[in-house]
Amino acid sequence: MTARRIAIVPHTHWDREWYKSYQDFRLALVELIDTLIPLLERDASYPHFMLDGQMAVVDDYLEVRPEAEERLRALAAAGRVSVGPWYILMDEFLASGETIIRNLQMGLERGAAFGGVMDVGYLPDMFGHIAQMPQLLRLGGFRDAVVWRGVPSAVTKNAFTWEAPDGSAVRAEYLPVGYGNGAALPDDAKALVRRISDNVDEVAEFLTGDLLCMNGSDHLMPQPGLGRVVAEANDLQDDYLFEVTSLPRYLARGTSDGLTTVQGELRSGYRANMLMGVTSNRVDVKRQGALAERELERRAEPLSALFRPATEYPDRLLALAWREVVRNSAHDSICACSVDDVVDAVLHRYAEARTIAAGLADRAVKSFARSLAIPGPSVLNASARSRDGLVELVVPADGPATDDVQVLSERSGVPGSMVLDADTVRTVLGMMQGPRISDDAWIHDVRIEDTEEGIDITIAVGTEEKPGVPIAEAKQDVYTRLGARPDSVIRVAMDQPSTRRIVARTAEVPGYGWTAFEAAPLSSPASVTEEGTSVVLDNGLVRVDIDGKTGTFGLDGIPGYGRLVDEGDLGDSYNYSPPRQDSVIDTPEAVTVQVTERGPVRARARITATYVWPDHVDGSSQARVGEHRVDVETDVEMRADDRVIRVTTTFVNPSGDHRLRVHLPLREPATHSRAVSPFTVVTRGLTAEGRADEFGLPTAPANRFVTAGRLTVAHEGVCEYELVDVEGDTARTLALTVLRATGMLSRLGMAYRPFPAGPMTPVEGLQMRGKRVTLRYALAVDCDDPYRLADDVLLPLEVASSLGGGTRPSAGSELTVHGAEVSALHRVGGVLEVRVFNPHPEPTTVSFGDRSGWLVDLRGYPLEPFEGSFELRPFGIATMRLHGE
Ligand SMILES: [Zn+2]
């Protein structure tokens, strides 16, 4: 009998932040790598250490020990340390697809400075895996994945073939007991042999060859003396051949023959906890994450790439914003299964990234406005698809408004003048920092004149920003004149025309293009009628009946939309868990409905429903106790010529230990749902695989939209949903989780997950008490293009006000992309790069008009050239670099 080879891979699993803050864990990280470097340098029998598949640990260390960089580089170049490939070990469901790719690219780029990254798609601790991961890995040049959580019961060996929807496949090494099966090995050879014998027995049915012994776990230090004890163990017996090695060397010996093939996402809880409840804890974090990603991916990058000169492309600022977003995508960061210090840091990073992205996007829009030849408002479309939509803008109020626009507010002009003394003028000028007076009023001109009595100042105000108005000079001029004539009287005259804020429908705007604003005629105007306590919104295409008693609304005759169902949750940050004596609150105590906009362009009503929610779940009785009165406001909006109903629900959460969901009736019973996952739409049934250790709760994340039973719901941020009201094998309702409030990072003895999944630490922030919770979503029946719906709802058309004087014509487009969804449009080294994906089961032709370029992989290596268009396989992802500007 030949000896079984035992491949020991020393490593650590480094959650950058979790039950302690980033800085806390970093202190330990510095100690770890301070120990590791000399250990590897002096002990050749300790041949290798894996730095957890993520470059962040290297950067976090070198920030403190810059002098150690050369030594670490030398060890990496010699193959003694493996680094990357990721920048961080992300959560795959809660980050956007683009964030996952940038994470990999950051890891590859940073790893290049250390002789290259580990050639393995290492995914040890993620809470399940997305369907397209095998394709992303192949596009990144990887053939191997290493996974633990989410693997279904169909996998019975320690390796399987994992296939993405496009057919791309990787060999997936399955860690049957996780990434720490070889943690804390005994320092005694006999004990080591016994321990490994137990390890082999534990997973014997899975083994196809060697035993992979992952020598490390969460934040564990390397074990000095490992080389010695392994050599002694080899001398002692012949059953096992111990070898300290690297993951790539172990995988190189693995067979790919006869492996089970698993297609698509891995979300089974059959063998390891899926921890599916992280999607719905700290909904504020998930929402801020999505807002930051959208601002970066859909506004800052494309608008900067198309409407600013290539030489002014803000690479560095965008990289800073991306770094924050990528760091936040770490599985314990965006998952918010963390202490409050960590969640605060995550929210701050998202705020920083979003501020940078929004500022860059606004600068690009201004750059566009300045380039227009003709003055006036223009409508700009930051998406690839040509579309119409509503815009709000401020226009001069000359004459009555036309039938096609809806006036939201009016402001009469400010003619006339006021007389001020010198001190008041100095105070006012001191407060004036620039040409902006209000949201939509900008100083266009300042004229200053000396008169017999004093000084006359005339200020002309317009509705758009006018560059180059010499405000600072004018202020200085006034100060100088006041200095010369300290007792003079100052007359300030404002020259501001009357304006109105309107909302109107625009004609079609080309993809990545613009047109001068013109209100389009309305064929199906929106109207409002009030009948007793009920309100009806109708545009001839769709009808909404708001019920003044229940606070819900009917959609084309089917009632019950927007029903808020509140129930107890004695779970933790990882899992929902109903208390033993649950009570459900789904009826408000009082309801008022107020019409806030009456059409014809847009009709809106606000439902204010007052509920009495219990305060918390009593630990011993497990009943919900106490009470709070809470007003939940829901705005329901209908637009002219549009079948989509937009809804925003918001409230300040007063209670703990509860889960709030909004119920949305399906149009017909459904056996499955279809939800957005990065780079594809996945189909999910009504059940999920689980086990005694974790109930297979069929709640799942949707990234932007979910469809079931002819109803499509587009929503802001990743949302948790579940198909409920199940009878037989069909469901009748889609429940979206608005909030899940628990006070524990992890807990023992829960109904749905008896054993803890992390430290049992109370975390006040997880209760979300006193926090404003906002859920924005839109409903469409029989929607044939949910990606279009999501863009219309989440990425509105932009308005740019121009003073003219540029060279750009009044309509046009900077780039044509047809035939696929665009994931990224940005510049890499000055060159336009576009990433698209085909979410459909048929091949598509992706066309770029007359543009040509190269298809590249995720490392930027050229694959093949194209002229104008190319074929993209079903569910394929492709990245192109375009020639020319
Ligand atoms: Zn982890």
Query: If you measure from the C-alpha of residue 25 to the centroid of ligand 1, how many angstroms do you get, rounded to a whole number?
Result: 13
- Residue 581: its pLDDT value, please? 95
Joined tokens for residue 42: 């002096």
- Axis crossing angle, helix 315-328 with helix 97-112, rounded to the nearest 10: 110
Contacting residues for 483 by C-beta, under 8 A, at least 6 apart: none
- For 476, the 3-state DSSP assignment is helix
Query: If you measure from the C-alpha of residue 332 to the centroid of ligand 1, how many angstroms do you get, rounded to a whole number?
Result: 7
Query: If you measure from the C-alpha of residue 218 to the centroid of ligand 1, how many angstroms do you get, rounded to a whole number?
Result: 7
Joined tokens for residue 409: 């507010």
Contacting residues for 448 by C-beta, under 8 A, at least 6 apart: 455, 456, 457, 474, 477, 478, 481
Query: If you measure from the C-alpha of residue 126 to the centroid of ligand 1, how many angstroms do you get, rounded to a whole number?
Result: 7
- Residue 415: its pLDDT value, please? 65
Q: Select from 582, 745, 571, 584 the least CA-distant residue to 660.
A: 584
Query: If you measure from the C-alpha of residue 744 to the centroid of ligand 1, how many angstroms do you get, rounded to a whole number?
Result: 18
Looking only at the bridges linking them, the beta strands covering 240-244 and 169-174 are unpaired
Distance CA 712, CA 309 (A): 39
Residue 255 is given by DSSP the state -
Query: If you measure from the C-alpha of residue 83 to the centroid of ligand 1, how many angstroms do you get, rounded to a whole number?
Result: 17
Q: Which amino acid is at 471?
A: I
Distance CA 553, CA 576 (A): 28
Query: If you measure from the C-alpha of residue 253 to the centroid of ligand 1, how many angstroms do you get, rounded to a whole number?
Result: 27
Where helices occur in 238-391 by DSSP H, the ranges are 247-252, 283-294, 301-307, 315-328, 331-334, 340-371
Query: If you measure from the C-alpha of residue 665 to the centroid of ligand 1, how many angstroms do you get, rounded to a whole number?
Result: 37
Looking only at the bridges linking them, the beta strands covering 417-420 and 4-10 are unpaired
Q: Which amino acid is at 389?
A: G
CB 131 within 8 A of CB 168: no
Contacting residues for 637 by C-beta, under 8 A, at least 6 apart: 597, 602, 603, 604, 645, 646, 647, 648
Query: If you measure from the C-alpha of residue 580 to the centroid of ligand 1, how many angstroms do you get, rounded to a whole number?
Result: 31
Query: If you measure from the C-alpha of residue 654 to the centroid of ligand 1, how many angstroms do you get, rounded to a whole number?
Result: 32
Distances (CA, A) of 367 to 140, 211, 312, 468, 880: 35, 60, 11, 14, 26
Query: If you measure from the C-alpha of residue 761 to the centroid of ligand 1, how many angstroms do you get, rounded to a whole number?
Result: 17
Q: Which amino acid is at 841?
A: P
Query: If you measure from the C-alpha of residue 13 to the centroid of ligand 1, how many angstroms do you get, rounded to a whole number?
Result: 7
CB 276 within 8 A of CB 92: no
Query: If you measure from the C-alpha of residue 219 to the centroid of ligand 1, how many angstroms do you get, rounded to a whole number?
Result: 9
By the CB criterion, residues less than 5 angstroms from ion ligand 1 are: 15, 125
Phi, then psi, of 342 in degrees rounded to 5: -70, -45
Q: Select from 90, 93, 92, 91 the least CA-distant residue to 675.
A: 93
- For 745, the 3-state DSSP assignment is coil
User: What predicted TM-score, i.e. pTM, was given to this entire model?
Assistant: 0.95
Query: If you measure from the C-alpha of residue 33 to the centroid of ligand 1, how many angstroms do you get, rounded to a whole number?
Result: 18
Distance CA 365, CA 822 (A): 20
Q: Select from 248, 158, 156 the least CA-distant residue to 200.
A: 158
b/e sequence 658-697, b meaning 16+ C-beta within 10 Å: bbbbbbbbbbebbebbbbbbbbbbbebebebbbeeebbbb
Query: If you measure from the C-alpha of residue 562 to the centroid of ligand 1, how many angstroms do you get, rounded to a whole number?
Result: 37
Query: If you measure from the C-alpha of residue 662 to the centroid of ligand 1, how many angstroms do you get, rounded to a whole number?
Result: 31
Joined tokens for residue 786: 């949910």
Query: If you measure from the C-alpha of residue 611 to the centroid of ligand 1, how many angstroms do you get, rounded to a whole number?
Result: 39
Query: If you measure from the C-alpha of residue 336 to the centroid of ligand 1, how many angstroms do you get, rounded to a whole number?
Result: 12
Query: If you measure from the C-alpha of residue 189 to the centroid of ligand 1, how many angstroms do you get, rounded to a whole number?
Result: 30
Query: If you measure from the C-alpha of residue 720 to the centroid of ligand 1, how many angstroms do you get, rounded to a whole number?
Result: 21
Per-residue pLDDT tens digits for 523-535: 999 999 998 889 9
CB 427 within 8 A of CB 517: no
Distance CA 580, CA 732 (A): 26
CB 51 within 8 A of CB 23: no
Query: If you measure from the C-alpha of residue 329 to the centroid of ligand 1, how many angstroms do you get, rounded to a whole number?
Result: 12
Per-residue pLDDT tens digits for 487-523: 888 888 888 888 899 999 999 999 999 999 999 999 9
Query: If you measure from the C-alpha of residue 736 to the centroid of ligand 1, how many angstroms do you get, rounded to a whole number?
Result: 27
Distance CA 562, CA 458 (A): 53
Query: If you measure from the C-alpha of residue 128 to the centroid of ligand 1, how many angstroms do you get, rounded to a whole number?
Result: 12
Query: If you measure from the C-alpha of residue 282 to the centroid of ligand 1, how many angstroms do you get, rounded to a whole number?
Result: 18
Query: If you measure from the C-alpha of residue 860 to the centroid of ligand 1, how many angstroms do you get, rounded to a whole number?
Result: 29
Query: If you measure from the C-alpha of residue 18 to the centroid of ligand 1, how many angstroms do you get, rounded to a whole number?
Result: 8
Query: If you measure from the C-alpha of residue 52 to the centroid of ligand 1, how many angstroms do you get, rounded to a whole number?
Result: 10
Distance CA 241, CA 263 (A): 35
- For 680, the 3-state DSSP assignment is strand
Distance CA 357, CA 351 (A): 10
Contacting residues for 198 by C-beta, under 8 A, at least 6 apart: none
Residue 336 is given by DSSP the state -
Phi, then psi, of 659 in degrees rounded to 5: -125, 130
Query: If you measure from the C-alpha of residue 91 to the centroid of ligand 1, how many angstroms do you get, rounded to a whole number?
Result: 10
- For 229, the 3-state DSSP assignment is helix
Query: If you measure from the C-alpha of residue 439 to the centroid of ligand 1, how many angstroms do you get, rounded to a whole number?
Result: 45
Joined tokens for residue 407: 């006036």
Query: If you measure from the C-alpha of residue 216 to the centroid of ligand 1, how many angstroms do you get, rounded to a whole number?
Result: 12
Number of Cα atoms under 13 Å in the Cβ half of residue 537: 34
CB 295 within 8 A of CB 361: yes
Joined tokens for residue 823: 């994931």
Query: If you measure from the C-alpha of residue 145 to the centroid of ligand 1, how many angstroms do you get, rounded to a whole number?
Result: 17
Query: If you measure from the C-alpha of residue 245 to the centroid of ligand 1, how many angstroms do you get, rounded to a whole number?
Result: 22
b/e sequence 461-477, b meaning 16+ C-beta within 10 Å: bbbbbeeebebeebeee
Query: If you measure from the C-alpha of residue 278 to the centroid of ligand 1, how many angstroms do you get, rounded to a whole number?
Result: 13
CB 230 within 8 A of CB 48: no
Q: Select from 95, 156, 102, 167 the least CA-distant residue to 132.
A: 167
- For 126, the 3-state DSSP assignment is coil
Low-confidence ranges of the chain (pLDDT < 70): 1, 415-416, 885
Number of Cα atoms under 13 Å in the Cβ half of residue 553: 29
Instruction: Find the helix or strand (DSSP H, E) in which 792 lies.
Output: helix 786-794
Per-residue pLDDT tens digits for 58-89: 999 999 999 999 999 999 999 999 999 999 99
- Residue 453: its pLDDT value, please? 79
